[in-house]
Copies of this chain bind each other. A is one copy, B any other.
Amino acid sequence: MANFELTREYIENLRLLIEQKDEETLLQLLGELHPADIAEIYEELSIEEAKYLYFLLDDDTAADVLIELEEEDRLRFLKALPSEVIARRFIDKMDSDDAVDVLSELDEERQKEVLSFLNDISVAGDIVDLLHYKENSAGGLMAKELIKVKESWSIITCLRSMRRQAEEVDEVYFVYVVDNDGILKGTLSLKKMLLSATDTIVKDIYNPDVISVNADVTSEEVSNIMNKYDLVVLPVTDSIGRLVGRITIDDVVDVMREEAEKDYQLASGITHDVEVSDSVFRHTKARIPWLMIGLVGGLFGSRVISVFEGNIDDNPQVAFFMPLIAAMGGNVGIQSSAIMVQSLASGSLGIESNLKKLLKELSVALLNATALALLVFAYNMAIGSVFALTLTVASAMFSVVMFASLFGTFLPLFLHKLKIDPAMATGPFITTLNDISGMFVYLLLAAYFFGVFV
């Protein structure tokens, strides 16, 4: 199976086949595809077409496709199906972490109904356990399916038990070693098993250096740990160290990607996760809130400027540099806040004291502010601006860059302390604040210098 590329021709052909109800050809086409590809195709079809295709799939594939669908599309499907079908056709075929993801999108009433239709009580029990965890925690990310062996077993006993356990698990990456109380002791690599005699005791060959997390740890921390230690699977324990589940890297990659996209979008002034192919309404909804903040801020800024109407009337050149000062405040503020946001997100703030961080940011700001102020000073001298204007622009540039740097550094830290996403501090919010304060400082300095020199 090569990597599949969706084309318009492919979709058109598929639509034709659906219209002709050509089951045979369709089944053959679908058979060649990965569930992720089928999910991609679904998003290009009408609901009716998609439904028709969906019921051609076997149960396992149908469950996999459901997981790969976008949340909205999935919800629409689930709403249209009776609880029994959801239970037997989907939940029963899924890994426990996926089952929980799907179930948690339904309301509580519906969840209970679906669970009551599950055949296997142990599957239902696992899912109920998992539903207790917060979505953004290690417990919310983990699956119950894993392979574990006791430290007292021999390799041959392990193999026998693993055969049984493997029937429930999709892929075997690691074998976990526990003691009689179920406390996680370490891992047994498949490589070690391949290389050891069959009567070797697990205790003598397992690797006790296992990195694990408590189920309450946040998914951000999970992602940082798996990334730092280059892990593919991370075992999860309860508060007394018993092995309760495992998190695989693909789920964490999704978390990471969403986190990075969210930060990027906040920095760009977009509130929802939108893609080019989303509807006009969704695009507008994602963009308008930040534009409103910009608008209100700008209107407020216009009031600030109007206070200085007399000055502008007397010296209209003051207006020339207003957009420059406003823009530089915004630019510097975004830079400073972006660096903080990224360091907070990756947990790489280091062990420097806050005082040292403050001093460093002050030095960077001082360097940038001095350089930029000198440049505009030289520019205004060169083009022969009046001296009051030259002084105003240079000193306003200096103040604005200093202020925006410090503000951009400390606002994310402050939000982080308040448990608000520090990424809120980037983008239009900080630009607007710096625009207004920059304008105010600039016009105040203009009033002062033009008062002294003119």
Contact = CB atoms under 8 A, between A and B. Distances in A.
Contacts of A428: 331
Given A6-B351, A324-B298, A342 B261 contact: yes
Interface string A336-353: 011110110010111111
Decide if the interface of chain A is mainly helix, strand, loop or mixed: helix
Given A276-B348, A363-B280, A298 B435 contact: no
Contacts of A166: 191, 194-195
Interface string A143-182: 0000000000000000100110011011111000000000
A48 to B, nearest CB: 20
Contacts of A57: none
A250 interface: yes
Contact of A167 (B195, B324, B332, B342): B195
A11 interface: yes
Contact of A313 (B159, B212, B316, B375): B316
Contacts of A1: 208-211
Interface in A220-275: 225, 227-232, 248-250, 253-254, 256-257, 260-261, 263-265, 267-270, 274-275
Q: Which of A169, A254, A265 is packed against the most chain B CB atoms within 10 Å?
A: A265
A30 interface: no
A213 interface: yes
A331 B431 contact: yes
Contacts of A317: 306, 309
B194 A339 contact: no
A350 B275 contact: yes
A56 interface: no
Q: Which of A209, A294, A306, A342 is packed against the most chain B CB atoms within 10 Å?
A: A342
A215 to B, nearest CB: 14
Given A171-B189, A323-B298, A343-B275, A335 B253 contact: no
A248 B269 contact: no
A448 interface: no
A385 to B, nearest CB: 10
A304 B302 CA distance: 20
Interface stretch (A19-27, A116-124, A129-137, A366-374): A366-374
Contacts of A283: 339, 360, 364
A294 B327 contact: yes
Given A249-B253, A368-B288, A375 B339 contact: no
Nearest to A363: B280
A305 interface: yes
A28 to B, nearest CB: 15
Give the number of copies in the complex: 2
Contacts of A274: 339
Given A11-B351, A253-B253, A264-B263, A367 B191 contact: no
A232 B232 contact: yes
Contacts of A209: 1, 34
Interface in A313-330: 313, 316-328, 330
A169 B190 CA distance: 11
Contacts of A231: 250
A312 B319 contact: yes
A36 interface: yes
A320 B291 contact: no
Contact of A338 (B264, B309, B346, B363): B264
B229 A34 contact: yes
A141 to B, nearest CB: 14
A287 B349 contact: no
- Sorted nearest first, the 10 A-B pairs with minimum C-beta distance are A298-B324, A268-B338, A277-B350, A260-B260, A230-B250, A319-B319, A302-B320, A312-B316, A276-B343, A283-B364
Interface of A: 1-3, 6-8, 11, 34, 36, 44, 159, 162-163, 166-167, 169-173, 189-191, 194-195, 208-213, 225, 227-232, 248-250, 253-254, 256-257, 260-261, 263-265, 267-270, 274-277, 280, 283-284, 287-288, 290-291, 294-295, 297-299, 301-302, 305-306, 309, 312-313, 316-328, 330-332, 334-335, 337-340, 342-343, 346, 348-353, 357, 360, 363-364, 367-368, 371-372, 375-376, 379, 426-428, 431-432, 435, 439
